Every structure is written in C-alpha cells, then in structure tokens.
Amino acid sequence: MKLGRTFFSLYFLIVSTFIIFSWLLDEVWSSYLEQDIESYTGYKVMLSAVGDFLNKHPQEEWPDIITRLSEKYQLPLSIIPEEQLHNKSPVHRNALHQGNTHVYYDNNSVVLHYLIEGSNVILTLGPAKMPTRPRSESILRMLILAALALVIFVWVWPMSRDLDLLRKATISFGKGEFNTQAPLAKSASIEPMINAFNMMAQRIKVLITAHKELTSAVSHELRTPLARTKFALQMLSTSKDDSKKDKYLQQIHNDVNELDELINEMLIYAAFDSDRPKLSFKPTRIADVVEIAATQHSQYQGTITIDNQVDDVLVECDQHFIHRALSNYIINAIKYGKDRIHITVRVEKEDCIISVEDNGEGVSEEFKQIIFDVFSRGDQSRNRETGGFGLGLAIVSRIMEWHHGYVDVKDSELGGAAFILSWPIHHHKNNTKKTP
C-alpha cells in the first residue's frame, strides 16, 4: 500500500524529534569531554613535578631522564624546544607563558604542553587518545533509536491511514455522495472520530432523503386538491344551476379544509422530524389516557369499546404524546373503518401494549411494510377519498421511537386492521426496541 503524505509528515516529525534529541545528547557529551580534558589536573601536577625534577639536573641530561621516565611509567613523554611551536597559535603560546601548562586537543587526540620554568624547553605528554563514549553504549543507543523508530512506525501508520481515509470520505461526502461511509478504523485513537463521522453522515443522509421524499410527496398531495378546486371554480363560474353551484362550493370548502389539515400535519411532522421535543416521563395511569382519548371522539356515529386489562397499572410515558399517538390511531380507524372500533390495553412482560382495531377493509400485506412511512399509499380502501394524508401514522411511529417502543399493524378479528402501540412500562434512556 502506498504510504500517504500525512503518514510521512507525521512520521518524519516524530523521528526528527528523536534525532535532534540524540544530537543534543552528543553535544552535551562533547562539552563534557572538553571540560574533562581541560581538567586534567593529575597530568598537570605530574608534568610540574617532572619539570622541577629536570631543573635539578643539567639540561643535557634531560633527554635521558625523560626517556627513562617514559619507559618506567608507560607515558608518551618528550621534550622539544619552544621554537618548534611556531605552528601553534599565539593564544596557545601565550597560555604556556601565563600558566606553564596548556592542554591542546584536536579531534580524537590530546597533548599537554608544559614550559619548564627558567628555560625555553617544552615538556609534552601525548598525543594521547581522547576519552570517548564507550562503544557498547553507542550501539545500545542506536538499537534503542531503531526500536523507537519501529514502534513509532507501527503506531503512526494506522493513524495516518485512518486519517487519510477519513479525509477522502469527508471530501466525497462534501461533493454530495451521501452514501459515503468512512472504513472501520484500525487505530483505537482515531476510531471515535470515524464513528462520529459515520453517525453524522448517516443522520444527514436520512434527513436529506426524508426532505426529498417529503418535498416530492407534498407537491403531489397539494396538486390534487388544488386541481379539484381549480376545476370547481371553473364550473362554478359557468354553472347557472343553484344546486350545482352549491355542490361546487361544498367541494371547494372540502378541498380547502383538506389543504389546511394537510399543511397542519406537515408542520407537525416537520417539527418532530427536525428536533426531538423535551419529553416528560412520569408514572401515568394508562387506562385513564385511553378513556380520555376515546371520549374525545364521542361524536363518532359508530361504537367505540375498551377492553382494559391493566386496571390501575402505572406506565412511565409522556402523557401528552401517548395521547396524541392514540388519538391518531382512533382517527385512522374512524376514517377507514365502518362502524366499530375496539381498543385493548394490556401488559406483556415489561411492555405496555395498546391495540386499536376497526372493521374496515383491512391492510394488504404489501402495504403493511410501508404504512408508517410519510405519505404512504395503499389500495383503494385507504386512498385520498377517505381523507388519509399519510402523516398521522408517521407521527405515531416517531412518538414510539422517543418512547423506545415500536408500532405495528396486523389483521383484526373484526375484519379490518389492528394498529398497535408498544413501549416499556419503565423508561430507560438506553433501552431501544425495534419493530418485530
């Protein structure tokens, strides 16, 4: 796999840091060596003692004495006339006259010069090898640096790969390819970033898809009643029959009401879809919620019966939104049923379940899969003529998501459809259920 520019940049930065650090250590070591050379106190004392010893003997005997001392102590001792130092710098020669002894070092060797007092003869010790860092320590240092470089490579490469893939995914997503997902991270430190990006991308994709579907559906839904209204207005302007005029006026009135209801439901759903409202989960006597919802539809010409199997059981929920979801189910049953609605409230294991049944034409198996989608359309038994907008059930589905529950539709023993609400009796924020 070709290494990315990001990887090389990061790897070069870290390795360069170690190289600079190593160089600084060498500089410190060299400085230490120079200080150590300058502090050859023992050698200086020895040269001073040898110089005093030579001054006690005639100068012509000095070469022999130096030869014997050099052999005896295994030291590179010698004497030279001061004139031989003509190649040395004036600073070097002045140092000799000021302090008698001077240390001269060059590369890996060092020489000590001592001007014998009262003469122009230089006593030298050297050249001697400059003390250096032990070879074993140098090899160990190189091995440590090589191991660190390898560790850094293994550590940085997955991070660089993940960051590069994330960058490419971001660019692709920014170009409008909303199906883009960043690959699974190989680096634990980058994994939260990858997961956050994928969650964001998925959420944006869902929102954009929903927006497109809603826009398309709204344009279709608005066009039908507007077309009918336009036709009724044209007929109204040409008709001279009062009964027909009344018919067209009633049709226009119905279409306006339909448009008003459609717009209201769209606004409600758009508010639900864009943001989750603040929910207030409290222990609620669910039988009372069902009773109130049924009573509010007392104008219904058919019969509404309730089978309460929970008595005084308290269920944690947001009473307002549960009431809204149940009311939408009842409205749906009134529109598509005939003359009978049956509501059942029961508890199964840890879930509260409310079922709303009607005796209408029912729902086909194919339509059951999409009936809770926005502006879904089924067979002729549940079409525009019966006044359904396809948003009421979508709102119920969203409310159940907030309650960590689910919605479902089944066949009813009454011959129609049975719409179901189900959510946990005890609310847990991290508890999530899906439609079975």
Please state whether beta strands 109-115 and 121-129 pair in parallel, antiparallel, or not at all (unpaired): antiparallel
Q: Are residues 401 and 286 in the same domain?
A: yes
Q: Are residues 113 and 233 in the same domain?
A: no
Report the 10 Å Cβ neighbour count for 81.
Answer: 10
* CATH number for the domain that contains residue 249: 1.10.287
pLDDT in the model for residue 351: 92
pLDDT in the model for residue 8: 64
- Give the residue from 290, 399, 425, 415 showing the smallest Cα distance to 355: 290
pLDDT in the model for residue 164: 80
Residue 414 lies in a domain: yes
Give the whole-angstrom CA distance, residue 189 versus residue 162: 10
Q: Are residues 237 and 324 in the same domain?
A: no
Q: Are residues 310 and 385 in the same domain?
A: yes
Task: Give the largest Cα separation in the chain, rounded.
Answer: 157
3-class SS of residue 122: strand
Structural domains of the chain, count: 3
Task: Note the pLDDT tens digit of each residue in 56-113.
Answer: 888 888 889 888 888 888 888 888 887 777 666 666 667 677 766 777 766 667 788 8
Residues, the chain, total? 436
* CATH number for the domain that contains residue 352: 3.30.565.10
Give the whole-angstrom CA distance, residue 87 versus residue 105: 14
Full-model pTM: 0.49
Residue 116 pLDDT exceeds 60: yes
Q: Are residues 355 and 270 in the same domain?
A: no
- Give the residue from 388, 306, 391 showing the smallest Cα distance to 354: 306
Alpha helices in 83-123, H assignment, sequence order: 90-99
More confident residue, 420 or 99: 420
Give the whole-angstrom CA distance, residue 168 versus residue 194: 12
Confidence of residue 283 (pLDDT cuts 50, 70, 90): very high
Range of 56-60, 262-266, 354-358 with top mean pLDDT:
354-358
Strand partners of residue 289: none
Q: Are residues 298 and 416 in the same domain?
A: yes
More confident residue, 131 or 250: 250
Residue 3 pLDDT exceeds 60: no
Confidence of residue 275 (pLDDT cuts 50, 70, 90): low
Residue 230 lies in a domain: yes
3-class SS of residue 393: helix
More confident residue, 143 or 326: 326
- Give the residue from 297, 315, 316 showing the smallest Cα distance to 305: 297
Q: Which long-range contacts (CB under 8 A, 24 or more apart) does 199-204 make?
A: 201/169, 201/173, 204/173, 204/178
Give the whole-angstrom CA distance, residue 161 versus residue 186: 8
Task: Note the pLDDT tens digit of each residue in 157-211.
Answer: 777 777 788 888 888 888 888 788 888 877 777 788 888 888 888 878 877 776 7
Please provide the distance, in angstroms rounded to a whole number, between the alpha carbons at the two ends of the chain. Answer: 44
- The owner of tokens 């940049």 is 9
Confidence of residue 276 (pLDDT cuts 50, 70, 90): low
Residue 214 lies in a domain: yes
Beta strands in 109-171 (DSSP E): 109-115, 121-129
Mean pLDDT of the chain: 77
pLDDT in the model for residue 387: 40
Residue 90 lies in a domain: yes
Alpha helices in 56-134, H assignment, sequence order: 62-73, 90-99
* CATH number for the domain that contains residue 103: 3.30.70
Residues of the chain with pLDDT > 70, as a percent, come to 74
Give the whole-angstrom CA distance, residue 92 versus residue 108: 19
Q: Are residues 330 and 211 in the same domain?
A: no
Q: Which of 274, 301, 316 is the last residue of a domain?
A: 274
Q: Which of 229, 245, 274 is the last residue of a domain?
A: 274
Contacts of 316 (CB under 8 A, 6+ apart): 281, 282, 283, 284, 424, 425, 426, 427
Q: Which of 129, 149, 169 is the last residue of a domain?
A: 129
Q: Are residues 234 and 260 in the same domain?
A: yes
Contacts of 406 (CB under 8 A, 6+ apart): 400, 422, 423, 433, 434, 435, 436
Q: Are residues 269 and 308 in the same domain?
A: no
Report the 10 Å Cβ neighbour count for 60.
Answer: 7
Residue 9 lies in a domain: no
Q: Are residues 95 and 119 in the same domain?
A: yes
H/E run at residue 301:
none
Give the whole-angstrom CA distance, residue 177 versus residue 317: 39
Q: Residue 79 in contact with residue 63, Cβ under 8 Å?
A: yes
* Rg over CA atoms, the chain: 48
Q: Are residues 370 and 415 in the same domain?
A: yes
Residue 191 lies in a domain: no
Question: For the ranges 240-249, 280-289, 290-299, 306-315, which has the lowest average pLDDT?
Answer: 240-249
Residue 221 lies in a domain: yes
DSSP 216: H
Confidence of residue 220 (pLDDT cuts 50, 70, 90): low
Give the whole-angstrom CA distance, residue 244 versus residue 372: 38
Residue 180 lies in a domain: no
Range of the domain at 372: 282-424
Strand partners of residue 351: 348, 424
Q: Are residues 262 and 291 in the same domain?
A: no
